Every structure is written in C-alpha cells, then in structure tokens.
C-alpha cells in the first residue's frame, strides 16, 4: 500500500475509533489566509455597517461587503426578494451606500473582527470602476471581488456574457488595481463560452473567479394571486439557493480545469450543508461562499456548514482541503 493510502486508512481508523482528528479547514484566497474556507457571499444582508458587523461576529471566515457603485443607490422597488421552496429570487437593483461608505466600513471591520474584508465593486461604467478600484487601493480591504454584471440592473445587460466588454473592463481595472482581485461571474451553460471567457480572464492578473452569481431572469409566480412574487422587471429576477447548486458545480469544475489551478475558483450557489461545501471543493473550489442560506438560516449557518464539512472530511480520513480538492473521480 502506498504511503498516502496507508495514511488515509489510518485516518479512517482514527475516525472509526472515535479519536478526534484535527481537521484543518483553512485556505488561502489570492494569497490571503482564511481560518476556514466558508464565508459570506456579497449580496445578502451586507449593505449597512450593522449588517456587516453581524457577519463579522459570526464564524464567517471573511466579511464580504455588498457590491458598491460610485453613488449610493436605493435599488429597485419592493418587493424585490422572495424565498422560494428551494432557494430565492431577487431583483434588488444594487442598493448600496456608495463606495466611500465601504472604504470606511472596511477599516472598522478589520479593526473589530481581525478577519479579511472583501470589497465588491460593481460600477455602472468603466470609468466608475476605475475610480473605485483606485480608491480601494488605499483602503483596509484585503481582496477585491469585481462584480461586473448584476443580473438585475434595469436597462443593463449581464456584462459577463459580453466577452469584448469583459476584456475592456478587465484591461482597465488591471492597470490601476494594486490589491489582489478576482471576478464574480454569471453562470455559463455553453461549453464554448467557458473557454471564451477563460481566455479573456487569463490575459489579466486575476487571482480568482467566483462562480456563480444568481442565475438571471427567472420568474416566480403566486398562483393564488396570479401575480409575480417580486415587483421589478415584471417579476424577473436572479435565482439563488438550491436551484443553482448543479450549475454552480459545473461552473466550478469547468473553470478549475480550464485554469489548471493557476487562477483559483470560489464556489457560491446552493450551499446549505457541509456536504454541499464538500462537493464544491471536490469539484475544485478553494473556498465556498454562502448567500441565500445565510438569509434564510441566519449567521449560525457558517458554523453549521464548517462543522458538517469537518465531520464529513474526518469520516473520509481527510485532514485538510488539499487532501481532496479538485479530485473528482471519473465514473
């Protein structure tokens, strides 16, 4: 038996014998150490300092802030979010307090919670994005997640589907950004599109991709009232939560393969349990974000997913993420 197999066998026996294995859930994203690989996604309940402090106090291993724009935005008319049986629909319309607020919040959050803070930038124009990237260079944030295309900004396309525009944007922000940064991507469905967008991203110093944003323009209907569940865009909104898990897994896997692990992948979409997180890491994710489940279950979800992931790994004899990350087996 080779050494690593013998080691896995020992570990399994440890688990069976009830001896407590020490499980290391830590990871690094863009060179920044995270105590665990589980943290909040940009979007749900992360607009105000009070909301961000709730995330800071929780076991989320980082604090990701709401996508910001140059000027504050009130967002779309309400109702603009609804829980669904296995997930959510939203068309928030980027409500946020403007980037200057998040530069201030980052300083407060870092000091208070001593964990990495992630800014999310979602400018309305290339020029806005450049201004914000420059401003965050002199901030306390550790990492920037560039979110170039919300599915819900009325009158705006999902930019992640426009490869030329993505190229133009990444070229512009790469030239000014001094922090490690990654890109949040929409879901891709066509295998050719994975290759095309990966080709664009590889041209720039992008450290990670976050897969996936909510799946654009679903429609949820209340059959009793015969009306949509949310008001903006005639009821169309981004679908999140359990409905997205298998698309998330496919996107994580495909980008993990295409980037050959040189650009990291963060998985987000449909994580409610430690086994959901395990599957994303097995597909290649270096970390896992929680969005809809945080809104639906509250801040304890981070601890729950971490505990379940640790237990599942222990049962399999895995002590750290690198023991299985990306190692999806062929059938």
Determine, following the binding rule CB under 6 A, whether residue 269 of this chain makes contact with ligand ERO.
no
Q: Which stretch binds ligand ERO (CB under 6 A): 17-25, 91-99, 198-206, 308-316?
A: 91-99
> In this structure, what token pair is assigned to residue 98?
């403007």
What values do phi and psi take at 219, rounded to 5? -135, 120
Binder of ligand ERO out of 91, 210, 304, 306 (CB under 6 A): 91
Q: 89 vs 305, which CB is nearer to ligand ERO?
A: 89
Binder of ligand ERO out of 41, 43, 103, 212 (CB under 6 A): 43
Q: 36 vs 214, which CB is nearer to ligand ERO?
A: 214
Determine, following the binding rule CB under 6 A, whether residue 232 of this chain makes contact with ligand ERO.
no
Q: Which stretch binds ligand ERO (CB under 6 A): 45-53, 90-98, 260-268, 275-283?
A: 90-98
Task: Give the strand pairing for 208-211 and 264-268.
Answer: parallel
Distance from C-alpha of 72 to C-alpha of 95, rounded to nearest angstrom:
7
Q: Which stretch binds ligand ERO (CB under 6 A): 109-117, 144-152, 162-170, 259-267?
A: 144-152
Distance from C-alpha of 161 to C-alpha of 106, rounded to nearest angstrom:
30
C-alpha angle with apex 300: 297 to 303, nearest 5 degrees?
Answer: 130
What x/- string results for residues 182 through 221 when contact with ligand ERO is judged by CB under 6 A?
-------------------------------xx-------
> In this structure, what token pair is assigned to residue 176?
């000014």
Q: 148 vs 326, which CB is nearer to ligand ERO?
A: 148
Determine, following the binding rule CB under 6 A, whether residue 92 of this chain makes contact with ligand ERO.
yes
Distance from C-alpha of 274 to C-alpha of 283, rounded to nearest angstrom:
14
Three-state SS at 150: coil
Q: Closest approach of Cβ 6 to ligand ERO, in Å?
A: 46
What x/- string results for residues 148 through 187 when contact with ligand ERO is judged by CB under 6 A?
--xxx-----------------------------------
Binder of ligand ERO out of 94, 106, 109, 309 (CB under 6 A): 94
Determine, following the binding rule CB under 6 A, whether residue 247 of this chain makes contact with ligand ERO.
no
Q: Which of 160, 164, 194, 191 is nearest to 263 (CA)?
A: 194
What residues have CB less than 8 Å from 269, skipping those under 6 apart? Answer: 187, 211, 212, 214, 240, 241, 244, 245, 247, 248, 291
* Number of residues this chain uses to bind ligand ERO (CB under 6 A): 15
Q: 252 vs 313, which CB is nearer to ligand ERO?
A: 252
Q: 36 vs 88, which CB is nearer to ligand ERO?
A: 88
Q: Closest approach of Cβ 8 to ligand ERO, in Å?
A: 39
Distance from C-alpha of 89 to C-alpha of 232, rounded to nearest angstrom:
11
Can you count the helices (H) and strands (E) in the chain? 10, 16
Distance from C-alpha of 93 to C-alpha of 150, rounded to nearest angstrom:
8
> In this structure, what token pair is assigned to residue 298?
């509250």
Task: Judge contact between 281 and 320, C-beta under 8 A.
Answer: no
Q: 127 vs 261, which CB is nearer to ligand ERO?
A: 127
Determine, following the binding rule CB under 6 A, whether residue 93 of this chain makes contact with ligand ERO.
yes
Distance from C-alpha of 38 to C-alpha of 208, rounded to nearest angstrom:
15
Q: Which stretch binds ligand ERO (CB under 6 A): 97-105, 143-151, 265-273, 317-325?
A: 143-151
Distance of alpha carbon 195 from the chain centroid: 21
Distance from C-alpha of 25 to C-alpha of 37, rounded to nearest angstrom:
6
Q: Which of 86, 31, 19 is nearest to 264 (CA)?
A: 31
Q: 56 vs 93, which CB is nearer to ligand ERO?
A: 93
Binder of ligand ERO out of 11, 90, 129, 264 (CB under 6 A): 90
Residue numbers of the site for ligand ERO (CB under 6 A)? 43, 67, 90-94, 122, 147, 150-152, 213-214, 238
């Amino acid at each position: 038996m080779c050494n690593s197999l013998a080691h896995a066998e020992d570990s399994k026996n440890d688990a069976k014998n009830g001896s407590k294995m020490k499980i290391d859930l830590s990871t690094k994203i863009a060179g920044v150490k995270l105590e665990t690989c589980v943290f909040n996604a940009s979007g749900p309940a992360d607009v105000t300092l009070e909301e961000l402090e709730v995330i800071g106090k929780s076991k989320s291993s980082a604090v990701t802030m709401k996508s910001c724009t140059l000027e504050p935005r009130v967002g779309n008319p309400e109702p603009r979010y609804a829980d669904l049986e296995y997930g959510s629909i939203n068309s928030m319309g980027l409500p946020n307090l403007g980037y200057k607020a998040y530069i201030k919040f980052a300083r407060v959050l870092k000091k208070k919670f001593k964990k990495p803070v992630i800014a999310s930038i979602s400018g309305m124009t290339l020029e806005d994005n450049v201004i914000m990237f420059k401003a965050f260079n002199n901030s306390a944030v550790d990492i920037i997640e560039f979110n170039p295309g919300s599915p819900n900004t009325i009158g705006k396309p999902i930019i992640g589907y426009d490869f030329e525009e993505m190229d133009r944007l990444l070229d512009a922000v790469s030239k000014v950004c001094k922090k490690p940064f990654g890109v949040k991507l929409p879901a891709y469905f066509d295998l050719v599109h994975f290759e095309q967008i990966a080709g664009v991203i590889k041209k720039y110093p992008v450290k990670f991709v976050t897969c996936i944003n909510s799946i654009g323009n679903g429609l949820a209907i209340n059959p009793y009232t015969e009306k949509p569940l949310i008001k903006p865009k005639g009821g169309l909104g981004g679908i999140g939560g359990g409905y997205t898990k298998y698309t998330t897994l496919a996107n994580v896997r495909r980008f993990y393969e295409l980037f050959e692990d040189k650009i990291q992948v963060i998985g987000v979409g449909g994580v409610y349990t430690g086994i959901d997180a395990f599957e994303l890491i097995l597909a290649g994710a270096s970390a896992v974000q929680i969005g809809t489940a945080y809104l639906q279950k509250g801040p304890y979800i981070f601890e729950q997913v971490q505990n379940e992931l640790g237990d599942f790994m222990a049962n399999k004899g895995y002590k750290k993420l690198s023991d299985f990350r990306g190692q999806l087996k062929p059938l």
